[in-house]
């Protein structure tokens, strides 16, 4: 369906599903593995034997992957690793006056990766989460993903390459709650990373007091800004490509050219909602895109580089004729990207999602003025023992 207007929001919101997700969470917390089995039967129609896939089974499935797919994964692996390695921060140290301080970037211990698998399987997403985790140096990786019939051989192969500790054949909100709190079979993790549908994202939000989460990465979003020099067939392809994820995708074309809007509208398929917006200038288009704060933004213009500096809210920008779907698979930057307006305050997954800065201070000697200042503020706050504990060191 084509709508000639600016979208008012997202197709789905947490408020529509939060009651159901809370009920799922309660069941998993109270009854652990039994609830996971029941929910997987109710919601996915799958009767689970084991909640942890056997290593020999995973190896067997990986060995069924064809050579061409194996080579494609190996090639993309190098490209993604190169991007994430340039993002890795160094430990820093310095000092001011007599105090020495610094930061040690420390990798997380246990990370749970959610790999979506409702409508399609997403081996690419396992790479997008697992590679930066490995570059950061995470100790243990666990994977949860819905498994229809048999485990996807590409997921099995990537899991082998990542040396994951366990794969749980569980999808949906129940998988997130299980990794957040642990069950008899599922290990409790320190942080959960991964995209998924509204149920999965609402569950991450719900458990975020107990476990780290990477943000909200729900149904895919693409805003294309196109001028008259762009190719309508390619724009339509880019929009329909992100529509392949499902009817909840947010798909928007903004242009100053009525001809482009008209030609693209004739090429779009059924099954998704497309928003087509006519503007007077590309500056106005950028303002609208910044307001929408989409996940993907395509600057399909011969002046794309010029407009890039005006983009304030989007997690992944493709320039000129670059296909947004290349980021989904192979360009280098991650395809796990914030949706639902979260690109106003965070970007896609990087090694920083798997690292935490531990700061350290060595102040055996310290400047007298600074000590007096610290004591003054402590006393001002009414923390006299704080003040004394400092003062006693430097008398």
313 annotated among ligand-binding-site residues = no
Q: How far is the CB of 127 from Zn ion (least distance, A)?
A: 14
CA–CA dist 220, 181 (Å, integer):
28
360 annotated among ligand-binding-site residues = no
Closer of 260 and 316 to ligand NAD (Cβ): 316
Burial of 27 (0-12, 13-18, 19+ CB in 10 A): middle
Interface pick for ligand NAD out of 125, 144, 255, 272 (rule CB under 6 A)? 125
The residues in 245-274 that bind ligand HSO, with binding defined as CB under 6 A, are none
Q: Is 10 in the site for ligand HSO (CB under 6 A)?
A: no
Q: Which residues contact 349 (CB under 8 A, 6 or more apart)?
A: 128, 129, 132, 193, 214, 334, 336, 337
Do 135 and 84 form a contact (C-beta atoms < 8 A)?
yes
328 annotated among ligand-binding-site residues = yes
3-state helix, strand, coil in the chain (%, to 5): 45, 15, 40
Q: How far is the CB of 198 from ligand NAD (least distance, A)?
A: 8
Q: Is 295 in the site for ligand NAD (CB under 6 A)?
A: yes
What is the number of the residue whose Cβ is closest to ligand HSO? 328
Site string for ligand HSO, 185-224 (x = CB under 6 A): -----------------------------------x----
Q: How far is the CB of 60 from ligand NAD (least distance, A)?
A: 23
CA distances from 61 to 53, 128, 283 (A): 11, 21, 51
Interface pick for ligand HSO out of 14, 105, 122, 199 (rule CB under 6 A)? 122
Find where tokens 């064809």 sit.
Answer: 66
30 annotated among ligand-binding-site residues = no
Catalytic positions: 295-296
Q: Is 123 in the site for ligand NAD (CB under 6 A)?
A: no
Q: Is 337 in the site for ligand HSO (CB under 6 A)?
A: yes
Q: Which does 134 bind (CB under 5 to 8 A by kind): ligand HSO, Zn ion, ligand NAD, none?
A: none
Closer of 220 and 255 to ligand HSO (Cβ): 220
Closer of 232 and 294 to ligand HSO (Cβ): 294
The residues in 316-355 that bind Zn ion, with binding defined as CB under 5 A, are 328
Q: Which residues contact 186 (CB under 8 A, 6 or more apart)?
A: 33, 36, 51, 52, 142, 144, 168, 170, 178, 179
Q: How many residues does the chain have?
A: 395
Do 239 and 224 form a contact (C-beta atoms < 8 A)?
yes
Q: Is 328 in the site for ligand HSO (CB under 6 A)?
A: yes
CA distances from 34 to 42, 47, 353, 361 (A): 12, 12, 32, 48
CA–CA dist 180, 204 (Å, integer):
9
Do 128 and 328 form a contact (C-beta atoms < 8 A)?
no
Give the interface segment with ligand NAD, choosing from 114-122, 259-267, 352-360, 363-371 (CB under 6 A).
Answer: 114-122
Q: Is 335 in the site for ligand HSO (CB under 6 A)?
A: yes
Site string for ligand NAD, 162-201 (x = CB under 6 A): ---------xxx---------------------xxx-xx-
- CA 377 from centroid of its chain's CA atoms: 41
Q: Is 37 in the site for ligand HSO (CB under 6 A)?
A: no
CA–CA dist 282, 9 (Å, integer):
21
User: In this structure, what token pair is assigned to residue 287?
Assistant: 């303002």
CA distances from 153 to 96, 197, 279 (A): 54, 23, 46
Q: Which does 33 bind (CB under 5 to 8 A by kind): ligand HSO, ligand NAD, Zn ion, none?
A: none
CA–CA dist 320, 300 (Å, integer):
4
Interface pick for ligand NAD out of 255, 290, 339, 343 (rule CB under 6 A)? 339
Which residues of the shown chain bind ligand NAD in the complex (CB under 6 A)? 20, 43-44, 116-119, 122, 125, 146, 171-173, 195-197, 199-200, 217, 219-220, 245-246, 248-249, 295, 335-337, 339
Binding-site positions read 114, 174, 197, 220, 242, 245, 296, 328, 381, 386
Q: Which residues bind ligand HSO (CB under 6 A)?
A: 122, 124-125, 220, 242, 295, 328, 335, 337
Binding residues for NAD(+): 114, 174, 197
């Amino acid at each position: 369906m084509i709508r000639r207007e600016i979208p008012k929001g997202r197709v789905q919101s947490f408020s529509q599903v939060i009651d159901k997700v809370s009920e799922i969470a309660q069941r998993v917390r109270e009854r652990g593995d039994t609830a996971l089995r029941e929910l997987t039967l109710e919601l996915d129609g799958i009767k689970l034997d084991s909640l942890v896939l056997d290593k020999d089974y995973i190896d067997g499935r990986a060995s069924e992957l064809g050579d061409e797919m194996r080579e494609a994964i190996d090639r993309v692996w190098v490209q993604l690793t190169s991007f994430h390695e340039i993002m890795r921060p160094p430990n820093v140290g310095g000092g001011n006056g007599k105090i020495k301080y610094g930061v040690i970037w420390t990798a997380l211990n246990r990370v749970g990766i959610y790999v979506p698998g409702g409508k399609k399987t997403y081996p690419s997403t396992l790479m997008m989460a697992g590679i930066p985790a490995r570059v950061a140096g995470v100790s243990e990786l666990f994977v949860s993903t819905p498994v229809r019939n048999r485990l996807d051989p590409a997921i099995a192969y990537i899991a082998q390459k990542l040396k994951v500790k366990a794969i749980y054949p569980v999808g949906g909100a129940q998988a997130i709650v299980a990794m957040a709190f642990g069950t008899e079979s599922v290990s409790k993790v320190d942080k959960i990373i991964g995209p998924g549908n509204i149920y999965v994202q609402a569950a991450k939000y719900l458990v975020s007091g107990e476990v780290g989460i990477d943000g909200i990465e729900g149904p895919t979003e693409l805003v294309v800004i196109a001028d008259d020099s762009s190719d309508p067939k390619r724009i339509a392809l880019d929009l329909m490509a992100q529509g392949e994820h499902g009817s909840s995708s947010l798909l928007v074309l903004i242009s100053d050219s009525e001809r482009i809007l008209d030609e693209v509208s004739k090429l779009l398929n059924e099954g998704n909602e497309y928003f087509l917006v006519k503007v007077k200038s590309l500056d106005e288009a950028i303002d609208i895109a910044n307001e929408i704060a989409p996940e993907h933004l395509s600057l399909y213009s011969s002046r794309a580089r010029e407009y890039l500096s005006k983009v304030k809210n989007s997690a992944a920008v493709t320039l000129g004729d670059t296909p947004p779907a290349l980021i989904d698979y192979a360009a280098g930057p991650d395809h796990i990207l914030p949706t639902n307006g979260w690109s106003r305050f965070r970007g896609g997954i990087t090694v920083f999602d798997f690292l935490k800065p531990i700061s350290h201070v060595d102040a055996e000697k310290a400047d007298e003025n600074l000590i007096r200042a610290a004591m003054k503020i402590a006393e001002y706050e009414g923390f006299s023992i704080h003040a004394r504990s400092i003062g006693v060191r430097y008398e």
